[in-house]
Chain A
Amino acid sequence: MFEMNDMTVRFAIGEALRGASLRVAPGDRIGIVGESGSGKSMLAACLMGMVPDAATLSGTLTIDGTDMTQASEAAWQAIRARRAAMIFQEPMTALNPLRRVGDTVAEPMRVHLGMRKAQARDRVATLFDEVGIPDPAARLRMFPHELSGGQRQRVLIALALACDPELLIADEPTTALDANVALKITDLLVHLSRSRNMALVFISHDLAAVARATTEIAVMYGGDIVERGPTADVLADPVHPYSQGLLAARPDLRAFPRDADGSRRRLPTIPGTVPPLHAMARGCRFSGRCPVERNACASVKPAPVGPRQATCHALSRGVA
């Protein structure tokens, strides 16, 4: 059980994460969505103890009740291998081009499980089989450039599973893959989470993939978790203006979608871009781009309200 409470990550230029709380129990499948720069990856880095040295942290993170906030790098190394693992966006660059993929995957087993070479190789073959790599015995002797993108992402999943973690964080695992392969990788992650009772934190801006992979969802913007709840509910009926904008901005796949008056429908977008960290508003970070914004929004940080814990002044007013 990973519990993060009121975690803030502060850099010299601003806060990359503002008071985020997240609870991950075994078997949970949680989606984190939001634009680039919304703090999704920083949230993952917190769970892995891999926040850059330049940042100062406040808040607490406990793993099965053990406080990890002040934990040493050595303690984190043990956690990273045995308890929490992570896969990354870019399978093309996340493997050392000079090492055989089997050696890369075997490494944590030899270091953290004390396995011998032959033993580790057998386990790598078993893992390759589990993540759907055909002919594992031959593949583990290959170099990364000999594998396709999808195969490489499977190798990286095998690397993450090397020491049977309780939590797998997938940081945009499908973004760099083509749609068909992305679907298979998403399903593989869900399957692994179910069969191993392993928690999955699925970070993505692909809403379809998140809908498919997760049971719960947290929407992030500017370092805040602005809304959370069961995936189906949030996607069907978002309450926070940012979630609404994000969901509305999906392209319609019908050839020529038209509005009621017959004109070609334009794809709705959220106006503006995510401001850089140092230019973020002190209050609600969505202010400046928000359609229901009022004067106070930019200066006062909204408190979470309602079952979705949405952080929006408009919702607080409505509820009150």
Chain B
Amino acid sequence: MRPLPANFIIGAALVAVVIGVAAVSLIWTPHDPADLDIRGKFGDPSAINWLGTDQLGRDVVSQLMAAARTSMAVALGAVMLGGSVGVGLGLLASAIGGWVEDSVMRLADLGFAFPALLFAIMLAAVFGPSLTNAVLAIAFINIPVFARVARAAANQIWTREYVLAARAAGMSKLAITRDHILPNIAAAVIVQATIEFAVAILAEAALSYLGLGAQPPASSWGRMLSEAQTLMYLAPELAVYPGLCIVIAVLGFGLLGDGLRDITDPRLARAR
């Protein structure tokens, strides 16, 4: 067996850390992340508060852990939702073709014409700032991406001989899509989903930074960043920690996605 590409290994390790931390935070954090202790504000790292405390005396580690959970939940929800709608549309476009395919793809182009984050900000602004709306907004900007990937991959599969054989055996387009197209585009979709996961983490952080995502008392890296921004001269480390977390999570999923693509695409593997 071929050795796994380095980007896959590093990405998988980073992702494992982030997901692991998020999972642990479900049952245990060192302190309650929302617990205030005004007298103990701007505390230095200690045995009790590993990375110190913030301007309200909240434990930084606990907040970062809880924020990882928020981040993962939003990204997962957004990618799953946007992915299923997008893949569904892409498969539909590919199966029916003609004007249906054209209109779906032109709509996707329209989606691409807007800067994705700006679009999410607009949606969150219109429907009100909340985590649910952030999920919906990020899901929405994911739809055209998945629709394109799914259609392009599905169009390739439709020309395969086994699809011809299935048609010759009297299978309907719906059955062929379910049994032959979907399993064969799964690899491409999963790769795209991993990369979109990174984008979604970034989008969630950005929305929360602008106050359009997680609302207090829910923790979020983006919100921690925006709160720490005003204290840059007083306690710069408070901005560094959530920033680093975002970098680790985004880099992890980005590298994992690249690695998965390298593994599933034999042409790239040979070029390495």
Contacts and interface: CB of A to CB of B under 8 A. Distances in A.
Interface of A: 48, 50, 53, 74, 77-82, 85-88, 90, 93-99, 103-104, 107-108, 111-112, 156, 159-160, 162-163
Contacts of B161: 88, 90, 93-94
A81 B165 contact: no
B29 interface: no
Given A94-B165, A96-B184, A162-B169, 4 more contacts: A77-B171, A104-B162, A111-B175, A160-B169
A113 to B, nearest CB: 11
A163 B162 contact: no
A171 B164 CA distance: 12
B161 to A, nearest CB: 4
Contacts, number: 75
Interface of B: 97-98, 160-162, 164-172, 175, 179-180, 183-184
Contacts of B175: 107, 111
B109 to A, nearest CB: 24
Contact of B168 (A86, A95, A96): A86
Chain B contact surface mostly:
helix
Nearest to B187: A98
A82 B168 CA distance: 11
A108 B165 CA distance: 11
Contacts of B165: 86-88, 94-95, 156, 159
Please give me the 9 A-B residue pairs with the lowest Cβ-Cβ distance, nearest first: A81-B170, A80-B170, A86-B168, A94-B161, A93-B161, A96-B162, A108-B169, A98-B183, A94-B165
A85 B167 CA distance: 10
Chain B CB count within 10 A is highest, among A82, A107, A159, for A107
30 contacts: A50-B164, A50-B167, A50-B168, A77-B170, A78-B170, A80-B167, A80-B168, A80-B170, A81-B170, A85-B168, A85-B169, A86-B168, A88-B161, A93-B160, A93-B161, A94-B162, A96-B162, A96-B179, A96-B180, A97-B184, A98-B184, A103-B179, A104-B162, A107-B171, A108-B169, A111-B171, A111-B175, A156-B165, A160-B168, A163-B170
A77 B162 CA distance: 16
B171 A108 contact: yes
Contacts of B97: 53
A149 to B, nearest CB: 14
Contacts of B162: 93-96, 104
A274 B192 CA distance: 44
A48 B166 CA distance: 12
A79 B184 CA distance: 27
Nearest to A90: B161
Nearest to B169: A108
A82 B170 contact: yes
B183 to A, nearest CB: 5
Nearest to A80: B170
Contacts of B166: 96, 104, 107
A30 to B, nearest CB: 18
A28 to B, nearest CB: 19
Contacts of B171: 77, 107-108, 111
Nearest to A156: B165
